[in-house]
Structure 1
């Protein structure tokens, strides 16, 4: 269990263990990983990179959906996340590389990668540098498939309006924090401006020499119980500001008490498929 005043990051064992346990207990990361892997055209793949791969949820989907001969490299900068993943994912076709995503081209064959897949992380990187590195390692015709959370991309799937039956758990957390702790969001948290819109993504991809072949807003369906479990992972716990981990968990419990476990939730994702053009075709 995390200490009551923990400020945990991706390379903290307590956070990595909580994240890996969530991945085993709930389908969210498996579902989003399979959505991306299916769009990567893995039928003839020999080498695929799981970028910012964490505990290996996306690597597992690539191994399941790709050909038996395919090799997968899962690259992440957090040793704790990879330690957690290695204990349960032991496929001999998978190699783990500890490195920031920006250094991708230092670790894999330039021009020798059939696909790069990045689930739930591209907006946490130096995106322009990562895209340039991806363009270097992809073979001509190779695909880069990634997603961006709806809030970061400034998009919402229609199901967010038609399925939702009340306030989101995040909204309830902010309400409880304001009521019980005098919480007020920072101006940057309240401005609502997208961090990585599709327009910006298209421009960055074009600058890196990659062409967008598909972009779609998808909906991830879950339950309030799953959302509570996700927000219990220290690195995701809210609200922002000077709260201890124990206070955040008390706020989460109070907010969750205003819902029911099977209340449906919807998370929007912008899914982008890009290719390195095959100029020899």
Structure 2
């Protein structure tokens, strides 16, 4: 079935199918999921939450680390993503809750969770509300592990500068859209602050009663071919504005990709944060 000529968001069947197809073929989400899950100290966990879990890529990584007795709960607001997840990931230890991340504490008992893991989505949420909910459901000593895209966090791994060999595919897409369609890219204000820097994250976590116990800027290495596949998923297709249909965005993507070499290495930076509910909290 051809993609719809609109960006209808995450709760769209075509987008969910495209997203899951990407996770099966390319390592990005599986690699970042394993990285986060390994930081959760899950070997003795009884209950783990995969927050903003989508179709279950991170839940799969968690299930590979927790003991057989453990339960994993995947929470996401997209019914479409979870329907695909239920079809492609069957494990009796895994249950699905369709709800926004901000409503986590309404669906999981207080002080019952050993770890909450959130991959590639925390900046899309109301972080103050989410952090408060996570603090409620974590047991004392429980961990909250999440990552923030480098652009949102205002961080860059050194590999971004040492590996880059030319313009990014996003840059080429905007150039092609301007050249062939009269598109005017949004102006970049160099003085614009990042949406979710570590200082803000630390302050908001502390307000919720959580303490940062570790941070790291990591680099996810891929290829231009993988980046093209990622930008083919409807919610990620570019340009985001301009009134383009999905078909037009794919034409622009193909034209931009033709200006690249498929095996050119790409680097995506992530700020990884590990927080914890103090053990002495009353």
Question: If the length of structure 1 is used for normalisation, what is the TM-score?
Answer: 0.97
How far 1:24 moved relative to its partner? 0.7
Correspondences of 1:73-84 after superposition (within 5 Å): 73-84=73-84
Correspondences of 1:45-124 after superposition (within 5 Å): 45-124=45-124
Give distance in 2, aligned partners of 1:45 and 1:114: 6
Correspondences of 1:1-281 after superposition (within 5 Å): 1-3=1-3, 5-187=5-187, 192-241=192-241, 242-279=243-280
SS of match in other structure, 2:64? helix
How far 1:184 moved relative to its partner? 2.0
The Cα RMSD (Å) is 1.5
Give distance in 2, aligned partners of 1:10 and 1:191: 31
Cα distance, 1:17–1:184 mapped onto 2, change above 3 Å:
same
Give distance in 2, aligned partners of 1:48 and 1:149: 23
Give distance in 1, aligned partners of 2:97 and 2:240: 31
Q: Which whole-Å deviations, capped at 9, do the CAs of 1:97-150 have from their partners, x for residues lacking one? A: 111111101111100100000000000011100000000000000000000001
Give distance in 2, aligned partners of 1:72 and 1:86: 13
| Cα pair 1:185 1:240 within 8 Å, conserved | no
SS of match in other structure, 1:65? coil
How far 1:260 moved relative to its partner? 1.1
Count of residues paired in the alignment: 281
SS of match in other structure, 2:271? strand
SS of match in other structure, 1:270? strand
Query: Which consecutive unaligned segments of at least 5 residues does structure 1 have?
Result: none
Q: Which whole-Å deviations, capped at 9, do the CAs of 1:216-262 have from their partners, x for residues lacking one? A: 10000011111000000000000121111111111100110011111
Give distance in 1, aligned partners of 2:77 and 2:191: 30
Give distance in 1, aligned partners of 2:3 and 2:266: 29
Structure 1 stretch displaced more, 71-80 or 174-183: 174-183
Give distance in 1, aligned partners of 2:187 and 2:73: 39
Query: Which consecutive unaligned segments of at least 5 residues does structure 2 have?
Result: none
Give distance in 2, aligned partners of 1:189 and 1:173: 19
SS of match in other structure, 2:244? coil
Give distance in 2, aligned partners of 1:79 and 1:188: 35
Question: If the length of structure 2 is used for normalisation, what is the TM-score?
Answer: 0.96
| Cα pair 2:4 2:14 within 8 Å, conserved | no
